[in-house]
Structure 1
Amino acid sequence: MAWRAPDNLRFYIQEARLVSINLSSSQPSVDAALHALPRRYRKLRAIYPLRLELFNEYCQDWTDEFVPCVSLGEEDEDKETGERFTVPCPPFYQIPSISLARADSLKRLFTWIDLLPLETVRRAVHLLYPETKAWSFASDADDTDHALLKCITWSQLVDYDDERHCRNAMSIFIQPPWILSDRDLDLFCKRQSVGTANSIEGFAANVCHQSFGSSSSPWHERPTAPHERLWWKLWDCCITRSCPWFVVSTYTHWVFGVFSNGWTAAFVSPVYCHDSHDPSVLQLLLFWLCSAMGLPGGWEVPEVRIEPAYPSHHLTASVSDLAVTDKSKLTLWAGDG
């Protein structure tokens, strides 16, 4: 006899794997360069990778403590809202497969991510924390890179000063695997200095090593690598939304990250495959989303030494300071010292 996901939500979140995506046999022809370029206003200086073993352990410990293994007495689908668990997990759970069209465009790829992992995590969060039911995933308006990148944000509409405002907690940035390659994603997650006018070391090293044109060219006009442009794009989008927590996904691969309180650094997970286990992608998404909302036990953003704070009006959606009870977690990120 198969279970409903809420009968043992912990086991479901741990065991359900994203189905293999049906990609186009031929890659669409697109200009794959994001429009983001080096700009002096950006304060991002360094990327710190999180340690795989400790990050996995933290996620597993959080799941064991905050996701119940006893029945919640709920159905897979909420008949009132239509929210439901959509990622199959045979033979344990009776969740039917969804038939989706071949992902031969960014729009169709977005549908795969929206209807499978994001819909499932939305149902899980609302079951675990009923007070979050006003929160949902909202697709952002298209920008200059709409053909290359899609963003969907976990947000809530709130009334403030007689106006409706959008409070954001986490953004998911989606690029097709034929645009964001596995190699680019690996480089995106490496420890690095981010090239700007004030981070000469990292940028100059790239310029010399990759022979990026004449030294007489202005620094902001030099050719740049795809992973650098992606970092600049994310920084611009996240700070505009006052939303430091983010996920980058090609569906086949997933990365989880957050900017520091002063927006000068970013902490980023290793790359996870869609069928990862211990933890699963659903497990990681649920953990990262709850951390972004400041819910109990979530991950705490490390302080960066000598980091000037951004003006408070840029950070309307604050993240709760959560105590780290296990001292081993203090070495989760690959920082100095």
Structure 2
Amino acid sequence: MAWRAPDNLRFYIQEARLVSINLGSSRPSVDVALHALPRRYRKLRAIHPLRLALFNEYCQEWTEDFVPCVSLGEEDEDKETGERFTVPCPPFYQIPPISLARADSLKRLFTWIDLLPLETVRRTVHLLYPETKAWSFASDADDTDHKIFKCITWSRLVDHDGERHYRGAMSIFVQPPWVLSVRDLELFCERQSFFGSSSSSSTENFHERPTTPHERLWYKLWDCCITRSSPWFVVSTYTHWVFGVFSNGWTAAFVSPVYSYDSHDPSVLQLLLFWLCSAMGFPGGWVVPEVRIEPAYPNQHLTASVSDLAVGPLIRQHLPSGMDTTRSASFDSI
């Protein structure tokens, strides 16, 4: 007899793996780079990779501590909202597979990501934290890179100065695997420094110097995240996933290794859930390490402060008794 996912949510999140994507026999002919070049206004200086074993351990422990293994008495689908678990997990769970068109364009690739892992994580978060019912994944408006780059943000509508706008907590940036290769992602996740903005070279040479795909991706993400006042992010080609966050002063970033779509111990669903709950400032989440001698970013460039998400002190305040509150510092090898 198959279970419903909420009958043992922990086991489901741990065992369910993303299905293999159908990219089709041909790939679109795309020879376009992101429109993101070095600029002096960016404060990004260093990328710090997170250690695989420790990051996996933290994610696994968080899942054990905060995702229940007892029945929640809920169905796979919320009949009122239509939210549901969509990632199959045979033979244990009775979640039917979804038939999707082959992902031979960015639009169709985005549909695979939205309807499978993101829909499942949305249902999971709303079950675990009912107070997040107003939060959901909202697709951002297309920009100059819309042919090869798409963003969807975990956000909610808020009232501010008589106007309604979205406040985001985490963004998922999507690029097709035929544009962003596994090697590009591996280079993206390596320890590296950005010293261009402090260069004494002329502005013209600075703006026109050669850039690599992974450098352009960092520039693009920094701009997108700071515009949304949301330092937490995920990069995905569906076939591969990376999880990252910028420091409080936006001068550094911490980034996970590259995970495959069928990753296990932890699964992509585990990682997504863990990273989203960390971005929301929920108990036990990952805490962004402090960067010494980091200047605060000018307030006029932000529409909301990082503290709006209660990332640091709130997490430490609500950690279970005995949980090591300094573990996050061990993830970087500074």
Please indicate the TM-score interval, normalised by the length of the shorter structure.
over 0.9
Q: What code does the residue aligned with 2:242 have?
A: V
Partner of 2:52 in structure 1? 52
Contact 2:286 2:328 in 1 (8 A): no
Superposed counterparts of 1:254-293, under 5 Å: 254-293=241-280
Partner of 1:102 in structure 2? 102
Q: What code does the residue aligned with 1:249 have?
A: S
Partner of 1:335 in structure 2? 333
Partner of 1:8 in structure 2? 8
Contact 2:41 2:197 in 1 (8 A): no
Q: What code does the residue aligned with 1:15 have?
A: E
Residue 217 of structure 2 is aligned to residue 230 of structure 1: yes
In the alignment, which of 294, 299, 306 is matched to residue 286 of structure 2?
299
Residue 298 of structure 2 is aligned to residue 311 of structure 1: yes
Structure 1 residues 94 and 165, CA gap change in structure 2 (3 angstroms): same
The SS at the match of 1:218 is helix
- Write the distance in 2 (CA, Å) between the matches of 1:123 and 1:187: 33
TM-score (norm 1): 0.92
Residue 227 of structure 2 is aligned to residue 240 of structure 1: yes
Superposed counterparts of 1:88-127, under 5 Å: 88-127=88-127
Query: What is the Cα-based RMSD across aligned positions, in Å?
Result: 1.7
Identity %: 80
Shift, 1:327, TM fit: 6.3
Partner of 2:179 in structure 1? 179
The SS at the match of 1:332 is helix
- Write the distance in 1 (CA, Å) between the matches of 2:225 and 2:203: 32
Q: What code does the residue aligned with 1:230 have?
A: L
Contact 1:77 1:84 in 2 (8 A): yes
- Write the distance in 1 (CA, Å) between the matches of 2:161 and 2:107: 36
Shift, 1:30, TM fit: 1.5
- The one-character-per-residue Cα deviations of 1:278-297 (angstroms, maximum 9, x if unpaired) are 00000000000000000111
Contact 1:85 1:95 in 2 (8 A): yes
Shift, 1:335, TM fit: 3.3
In the alignment, which of 289, 314, 324 is matched to residue 326 of structure 1?
324
The SS at the match of 1:58 is helix
- Write the distance in 2 (CA, Å) between the matches of 1:220 and 1:81: 48
The SS at the match of 1:197 is helix
Partner of 1:211 in structure 2? none
Shift, 1:223, TM fit: 1.4
Structure 1 residues 191 and 164, CA gap change in structure 2 (3 angstroms): same
Contact 1:259 1:267 in 2 (8 A): yes
Shift, 1:326, TM fit: 1.9
The SS at the match of 2:126 is helix
Structure 1 residues 127 and 228, CA gap change in structure 2 (3 angstroms): same
The SS at the match of 2:153 is strand
Unaligned runs of 5+ in 2: none
TM-score (norm 2): 0.93
- Write the distance in 2 (CA, Å) between the matches of 1:176 and 1:250: 5
- The one-character-per-residue Cα deviations of 1:114-156 (angstroms, maximum 9, x if unpaired) are 0000000000000000000000000000000000100000000
- Write the distance in 1 (CA, Å) between the matches of 2:199 and 2:74: 53
Unaligned runs of 5+ in 1: 205-214
Partner of 2:130 in structure 1? 130
Partner of 1:209 in structure 2? none
Shift, 1:74, TM fit: 0.2
- The one-character-per-residue Cα deviations of 1:48-71 (angstroms, maximum 9, x if unpaired) are 000101100000010000000000
Q: Larger deviation: 44-53 or 159-168?
A: 159-168
- Write the distance in 1 (CA, Å) between the matches of 2:162 and 2:305: 17
